Structure 1
Amino acid sequence: MIRISATNLEAFRRWKAHPDAELDEIINYLLKKTPPTEAMAAGSAFHKVLEKASLGELNIEQTDGFTFDFSKIESEIALPETRKRKITRQQMVNGERVTFVGIVDAMDATTIYDHKLTGSLDPENYTDSLQWRCYLDWFSARKFTYNLFSKYQPAANPGTYLIKQFMPISFYAYPNMHRDVMAVAEELVEFIKEYVPELIKDDVSSTSFELN
C-alpha cells in the first residue's frame, strides 16, 4: 500500500518539469528528509491563523513565533465555516493499492478553497498545478479557489509578515481531469517502486508519507 497526497503529486510534477533537478531532491522530499524552511514554517502558521479566524476583521495576528499584519488589506476575505476537510480514497494503480489523501483549507457548498502566502500574485504559477485538479477530482467538486495573500517582510522585524494584498483565483473541473491526475499518479507509483520502495507498506495502518 502506498499513501499519496495531492502535495506529493504536485511536487513530483514540478520536479519533472525542471530537467536540471536532482534525483535526490524528490527522493528526500518523499522521505520527509527535506528540512523545513522559514517560508514553510510561516506558511503553516499562517494557515493556523486563517483556520481559527472567527467572523469579523483580521488585524494583527500572532502564532508560532510569527506575526501577520492584515491591517493594510481593504478587500473582504471569504472564510467558509467548513475548514480543514480531509478525504481518503483507495484505488489500484499499476498493481499497487494506493490511498490518495487530500486535506483542503476550507470549502462550502460550491467551492474548495486553498490559502497561499506568497511574495507575488501571479495566477500563472497555479494554472498547471495538480493540487486543484486532485481536489476537484477527489471531492467531485466543480470549482477550486486559491486565496492568494501577498506578503512583505520588513528587514527590521524578523518573523513579521505584512499582508499587502488579497487575490482569489479560481479553476474549474473539466472533461478528462481524472485522467490527467491519474497519469501523474501512475508515474509517481512507478517512481516509488524503482527509487523509494520503502514507501510501499504492507500494513494499512503504517505511517503515512504525505505532506499537507
Structure 2
Amino acid sequence: MSYRVSVTTIEKFRRYMTEASTFDTEESLLDSIKGFFLGNDKTKFGEAWGKIIEEGHKFKHVSGNLNGYLVDGIFFSEELARPAVEFAAAHPKMIYEVPVAKEYEVNGMTILVSGRTDGIEGNITRDTKCKFRTPDFQEYVDSYQWRFYLDMLNAKTFYYDVFEVQGFDSLVYDKKGIAWLHDINIIPYEPLYCSSYSDMHDDCKLLLRQFFEYIEEKNLYQFLKPYKSNA
C-alpha cells in the first residue's frame, strides 16, 4: 500500500517527538493525522495576512474614513497592512501558492509527500510566518518544512519571512460579520536564510521512516490518504 502525507503533518510529528513546545501534544498530532484541525483565530489571521501579500488589490476596502483591506471578514487598516504591502512590492516576481510533491520509498512503501509553498521567486522558496510572540528563530532552523521543500524542489535556498503580531488575542466580529483589529502592531523581521546540505535527503527519509513506525505502532493507517503511484 502507498500513502500520501503532508509536510505539515510530518513536521507536527517531529515537533511532538522532540517536545518542541507545550502546544505540540500527541492530541494535536493525532488531529493533524486524522484531518480534524480546522484552524483557529490565529491561523485565520495568518491566512488573511498572506492574502494581502499575494493579492492585496482584491481586498482594498473603504469604510467611512477607514481605508484598508477586508479579507475573509477581517479588516486591516492601511497602516496595519503596510508591512505586507511593502513585502509584496519588494517581491514583484513572486509566484504564490505553488503545490509541490515528491515520492519517497520508505519501509517498502511509496510515500507521496505533498505541500504548498507560500511563494517561489526564481530558484528561491519562501514561507511567510505570523508569530504571536517574540520569534524563536532556532525553531525555524530545526524545522523539517524547509528541508522537505528544498528536497522536493531540488533547490538550494529557502527563506522564512517572519512577522511578529503584537497585541492580538482573538477575532471579535460585529453584527455585520467584520472583525476590526485594534491596538495591534506587526513587526517584520529580516528573512531567515536556510540552505540545502549534502545529507538533507537522507534526513528527510529518516524522519519519514520514524513517522511510519509511529503510524504502525499506533495503528493509524486507516486515517492516511492512499496514494496510487504511476510507477
> TM-score normalised to the size of structure 2?
0.75
Pairing 1:124-135 to 2, within 5 Å after superposition: 124-135=138-149
Q: Does 1:49 align with 2:49?
A: no
- Of 195-204 and 93-102, the range deviating more from structure 2: 195-204
Equivalent residue number for residue 18 of structure 2: 17
1:103 aligns with 2:103: no
Q: Is the 8 A contact 1:4 1:99 kept in 2?
A: yes
Deviations 1:101-158 (A, max 9, x none): 0210111223101001112233222110000111111101111001111212367984
Tell me the CA shift for residue 202 of structure 1. Answer: 5.0
SS at match of 1:71: helix
Deviates more, 1:186-195 or 1:13-22: 13-22
**Aligned-partner residue type, residue 75 of structure 2:** T
What aligned pairs does 1:16-165 form with structure 2 within 5 A after superposition? 16-18=17-19, 22-53=25-56, 60-69=68-77, 71=79, 76-77=86-87, 78-79=90-91, 80-119=93-132, 120-153=134-167, 158=172, 159=179, 160=181, 161-165=184-188
- Identical columns (%): 24
CA 68–150 in structure 1, closer or farther in 2 if over 3 Å, else same:
farther
Determine which structure has more spread, i.e. the larger CA radius of gyration: 2
Please give the alpha-carbon distance, in whole angstroms, between the structure 2 residues aligned to 1:62 and 1:125.
31
User: One-letter code of the match for 1:17?
Assistant: T
Give me the TM-score of the superposition, normalised by structure 1: 0.81
Contact in 2 for aligned 1:3/1:99 (Cα 8 Å):
yes
Q: Which has the higher contact order (CA 8 A, sep 6+)?
A: 1
Check 1:193–1:152 CA distance in 2 against 1; reply closer, same or farther (3 A cut).
same
Gaps (5+ residues) in structure 1?
Answer: 206-212
Distance 1:27 1:110, change over 3 A: same
Distance 1:99 1:71, change over 3 A: same
Number of equivalent positions: 201
Amino acid aligned to 2:208: A
User: In the aligned structure 1, how far is the partner of 2:171 from the partner of 2:28?
Assistant: 32
Unaligned stretches of 5+ in structure 2? 58-66, 173-178
CA RMSD of aligned residues (A): 2.8
Report the CA distance between 1:185 and its aligned residue: 0.7
Assess if the C-alpha contact under 8 Å between 1:192 and 1:199 holds in 2. no
Q: For the Cα contact (< 8 Å) 2:99–2:117, is it kept in 1? A: yes
